[in-house]
A and B are shown apart, each in its own frame.
Chain A
Amino acid sequence: MTVSAPAGADPLVSAAGDRPRRAWIGWLALPAVLALVCLGLWLYVGSQPLDSIEARSLNASTISEAVVRHVQLTAVSTVLVVGLAVPLGILLTRPFTRRFRGALLTVANIGQAVPTIGVLALLAVAFLFLGFWSAVVGLVLYAVLPVLRNTMVGLEQVDPTVLEAGRGMGLSTGQVLRRLELPLAVPVILAGVRTALVINVGTATLAAYINGGGLGTLIVAGFSTNRFLVSLTGAVLTAVLALFVDHLAGVAEDVLRPKGL
């Protein structure tokens, strides 16, 4: 790993646990702002005269279909990412994999430098793999790394004396993992999942280029028909959705954090 900062300040690992739990009123502030932005966009688009091309994209059914597709892309890929990266992270922190871990992390760090659009474009042009599932594969490939890294860091930062104590109490290796290591690593793992979620919401916008659907289709359609209003609507809705998803993940982090941490 190229990071030399102390573990607590490791900037490649999403920060977790240094935020106080927010009051419920704090949870409502951002959604209120986002709702206002949506209202403003609706009023603005409503005040513009739409020609037939714009009307074809800017109607309730097209937009809601794009939003639903975008959420599906994000949800499916994030579930797959967590299902892959957390077990892999657990495996890679067990003693028997210690030998090749460094090499693997180096490869993973270089892999992170590949741009998201590059992963999606390569799936499309090299394997002629287009559509919803192609986009999901691209999103998963790209978002696996941050969750993997956070899982590993989360497990490694658990105080070894706690594990020793667990073993001294007669817990088996599996029990130590399930009842001590994993619960103690949950905040860091959740921060990684949140990062993956944010990456996926953003990258799903690019799925439009490989027929994956989502809000990116509005932006691309606006470009190709020279209707900026359509692109603008797509961009604002994408930004609102991303901020909202990140906000929900933040609330989930607060709620799911094991008590006592």
Chain B
Amino acid sequence: MTAPGGPPGCERVPCSGIVGADQRRRSPPVGSEAPTRGATTLDFVDFVWDRRDDVLQRGIEHIGVVAVSVALSAVLGVLLGVLSYRSPTARTAAIAVTGAFLTIPSFALFVLLLGIVGLGTTPVVIALTMYGLLPVVRNTVTGLLSVDPAVVESAQGMGLSRWQRLRRIELPLAWPIVLTGIRVSTVILVGIAAIGAVVNGPGYGNLIFTGLARVGAPVAVDLVLTGIVGVVVVAVLFDAVFTLLGKLTTSKGLR
């Protein structure tokens, strides 16, 4: 169990001795200011390099759990948006409910789900899927409503059925906005996934929480920094994928 340590604060006392000892060990020769900074940066690089297998493993876990959750919330969100956008009441309700999901603090939601599905990856995927819905639903509704009614009408005039109109006209036209929604969901989920470590979830959150449990020890800073940098790198990677995906999947006429 890498997640929550003892009650907050109790780590400090036993660790304080280590701080002193380690500062002594690490302290640079007197009068060398610049090398100190260089040394700590190098220490961090060394730290990550020494643990590259673990860091890579955590990264793959992090990407995996976010990718699965984003895919689920994209499918469910687009479905909800398509089903609700024609009725003002339905779309208001869909946005209000998914908005309420996003309002529930992640730490609390993970714990509530822990009571239902137990520890591990499952509560994390469920929670992340719930959090990812709002941007997708909102953008699907906005996108579908922004389609020019004249275009839909002419499609109808050409004899396209309701399903054909949706699949061949409305969704392709709304797609760039829908994709932006999915992209926003992804950014949110990459960050929230880090908190999933409290219920033994996968990913970089484990490094952050392990570091937090060792406040005062020098390894704590390296652990937390690795976790944060890892999360940011995953976010940047996802963003790059979405830029590519946007270029590949946007209808030619819209580019």
Chain A interface (Cβ within 8 Å of chain B)? 2-6, 8-9, 11-12, 15, 110, 112-118, 121-122, 124-126, 128, 130, 198, 201-203, 205-206, 208-211, 216-217, 219-221, 223-224, 228, 231-232, 234-236, 238-239, 242-243, 246
Nearest-CB residue, chain A, relative to B145: A9
Asked whether B147 is an interface residue with its Cβ less than 8 Å from the other chain, the reply is no
Alpha-carbon gap, A129 to B105, bound state (A): 24
Taken together as a complex, chains A and B put the C-alpha atoms of A208 and B5 apart, in Å, by: 11
Segment with Cβ contacts to A, from B29-37, B153-161, B164-172, B225-233: B225-233
Q: Are B176 and A4 in contact, with the CB atoms below 8 A? A: yes
Given the known inter-chain contacts A115-B208, A117-B194, A236-B112, please indicate yes or no for A220 contacting B8, CB distance below 8 A. Answer: yes
User: Given A118-B231, A231-B114, A242-B103, 5 other A-B contacts at CB below 8 A?
Assistant: A11-B135, A125-B224, A128-B216, A130-B215, A242-B108
B215 touches A125 (CB 8 A): yes
Q: How far is the CB of B87 from chain A (nearest CB, A)?
A: 15
A138 shortest CB reach to chain B, Å: 12
A234 adjacent to B111 (CB under 8 Å)? yes
Contact with A along B212-238 (1 / 0, CB 8 A): 101110001101110110011001100
Query: B167-216: which have CB < 8 Å to A?
Result: 176-177, 180-181, 183-184, 187, 190-192, 194-195, 198, 205, 208-209, 211-212, 214-216
Given A115-B191, A118-B231; A217-B108 close (CB under 8 Å):
no
Which of A5, A9, A124, A201 contacts B105, CB < 8 Å?
A201
CB of B132 within 8 A of chain A? no
Pick the interface stretch among B45-53, B67-75, B136-144: B136-144
Q: In the complex, which of the residues A15, A113, A125 contacts B231, with contact meaning CB atoms closer than 8 Å?
A: A113
Q: Does B239 reach chain A (CB closer than 8 Å)? A: yes
Which residues of A are found within 8 Å of B26, using beta-carbon distances? none
Instruction: Provide 19 A-B residue pairs closer than 8 Å at the C-beta atoms, listed in order of the A residue.
Output: A2-B183, A3-B184, A9-B180, A11-B180, A112-B187, A112-B191, A113-B236, A118-B224, A118-B227, A121-B208, A126-B225, A198-B103, A202-B105, A202-B108, A209-B209, A223-B3, A224-B5, A234-B108, A243-B104
| List of B residues within 8 angstroms of A209 by Cβ | 4, 8, 209, 212
Pairs A-B, 4 closest by C-beta atoms: A202-B105, A113-B235, A115-B194, A235-B111
Residue on B nearest A212 in the bound complex, by CB: B8
Residues of B within 8 A of A (CB): 3-9, 12, 100, 102-109, 111-112, 114-115, 135, 138-139, 142-143, 146, 176-177, 180-181, 183-184, 187, 190-192, 194-195, 198, 205, 208-209, 211-212, 214-216, 220-221, 223-225, 227-228, 231-232, 235-236, 239, 246
B184 to A12, Cβ gap below 8 A? yes
B221 CB to closest chain A CB, in angstroms?
5
Q: How far is the CA of A126 from the CA of B224 in the complex (A)?
A: 9
Contacts of B194 in A (CB 8 A): 115, 117-118
Partner of A239, one of B112, B180, B216, B221: B112
The answer, among B4, B184, B215, B220, for a CB contact under 8 Å with A11, is: B184
How many Å lie between the Cα of A250 and that of B135 in the bound state? 19
Docked-complex contact A122 and B6, CB < 8 angstroms: no
A125 and B212 contact, CB distance less than 8 A? yes
User: For B146, what are the chain A residues with a Cβ–Cβ distance below 8 Å?
Assistant: 6, 9
CB of B228 within 8 A of CB of A114, answer yes
Are A115 and B228 CB-contacts (below 8 A) given A232-B111, A232-B115?
Answer: yes
User: Do B180 and A114 touch across chains, with their CB atoms under 8 A apart?
Assistant: no
**Chain A residues, Cβ within 8 Å of B114:** 228, 231
**A242 CA to B131 CA in the complex, in Å?**
15
Can you name the residue of chain A whose Cβ is closest to the Cβ of B239?
Answer: A2
B212 engages A220 (CB within 8 Å): no
Q: Are B4 and A220 in contact (CB under 8 A)?
A: yes
Whether the pair A115, B184 counts as a contact (CB closer than 8 A) is: no
CB distance from A184 to the nearest CB of B (A): 22
Establish whether residues A219 and B108, one from each chain, have CB atoms under 8 Å apart when the complex forms.
Answer: yes
Q: In the bound complex, how far is the Cα of B192 from the Cα of A255, in angstroms?
A: 32
Is the CB–CB distance between B104 and A239 below 8 Å? yes
Docked pose: A23 CA to B137 CA in angstroms = 25
The residue that A122 contacts in the complex, of B184, B195, B225, B246, with Cβ under 8 A, is: B225
Closest to A113 in B: B235
Known interface pairs A12-B184, A205-B105. Does A219 touch B224 (Cβ–Cβ under 8 Å)? Answer: no
